[in-house]
Structure 1
Amino acid sequence: MRNRRTAAVLALAAGLAAAAGSAPAQAAPEPRSHLDLTVERGDAGARSSTTLDCHPAGGSHPSADQACAALERAGGDFDQLGQTRHQQVCTMQYDPVRLSAAGTWEGKPVEWAMTFGNPCEAKGATDGVFPV
């Protein structure tokens, strides 16, 4: 009787282990917002890119939490960035910077680009979303 009980327990344990092993591993959920941000400086064409993930914040962006918070305040609308901050004082130096964003914000496609007179203007107008 004892051998039958032991065999039954071992069979049940093996079945549970097999079932657990066959269940697909749950991958981390993809961020609801993923953006590729590009900064092009001056006429020389110096270019840098970074990624920004939000919900949760991450990617290669050096200040992802702050950038995601700024986009949240703007409702994901890049044209609304910088509207809630105080006016930033910048020099009149002309050193053009072209910023662009492509990807998704809360599942909706994003394509945005704008050129600013200098890095200071670009940073103020985009609430620091772009690492200028």
Structure 2
Amino acid sequence: MPNLATSVIVGAVIALMPASSPESATSLRLTLDHPERGTSRSVTLRCDPPGGSHPEAARACSELSGSGGGFAHGPDGRMCTAVHSPVVARADGRWRGKAVRFRVEYGNDCVMRSRTGSVFAF
């Protein structure tokens, strides 16, 4: 009987675990390159539940969800200087199970954040 009790408990634990399948998984590597400075930074972003090394994972996942997985949008209205200090924003991985690859060069960090929200705010 002890084996039956153990099986029942294990089955109950598995049934209560959130369902996460490869078809719905989100795991992204986000990278910011500053070619003129010779610097590069990367973080990971996971969603459902939010996690990874992104400092604002929950907010970034919420914004991505609201845009249907789109990384860029129109400017958010903030005022940015015209100082040219290029930054390349890249995303590689899977969004809700679908392979994604994003790469856009912006004139500076302010312009990039105006068009990508918190996804690349790290």
| TM-score computed with the length of structure 2 as normaliser | 0.80
| TM-fit CA distance, 1:86 | 3.2
- Aligned alpha-carbon RMSD (Å): 2.4
Of structures 1 and 2, the larger Rg is shown by 1
Measure, in 1, the Cα distance between the counterparts of 2:60 and 2:96: 15
> Where in structure 2 are the equivalents of 1:49-64 lying within 5 Å?
49-64=42-57
Identity %: 34
1:115 aligned counterpart, secondary structure: strand
Measure, in 1, the Cα distance between the counterparts of 2:80 and 2:49: 33
Count residues with an aligned counterpart. Answer: 116
Higher helix share: 1
Residue 95 of structure 2 is aligned to residue 95 of structure 1: no
| TM-fit CA distance, 1:57 | 0.8
Please, which runs of 5 or more residues in structure 1 have no aligned partner? 1-11
Residue 54 of structure 2 is aligned to residue 66 of structure 1: no
What is residue 5 of structure 1 aligned with on the other side?
Answer: none
| TM-fit CA distance, 1:19 | 4.8
Match of 2:31 among 38, 51, 54: 38
| TM-fit CA distance, 1:42 | 3.4
- Higher normalized contact order (CA 8 Å, seq sep 6+, divided by chain length): 2
Residue 115 of structure 2 is aligned to residue 125 of structure 1: yes
| TM-fit CA distance, 1:34 | 0.7
Please, which runs of 5 or more residues in structure 2 have no aligned partner? none
1:122 aligned counterpart, secondary structure: helix
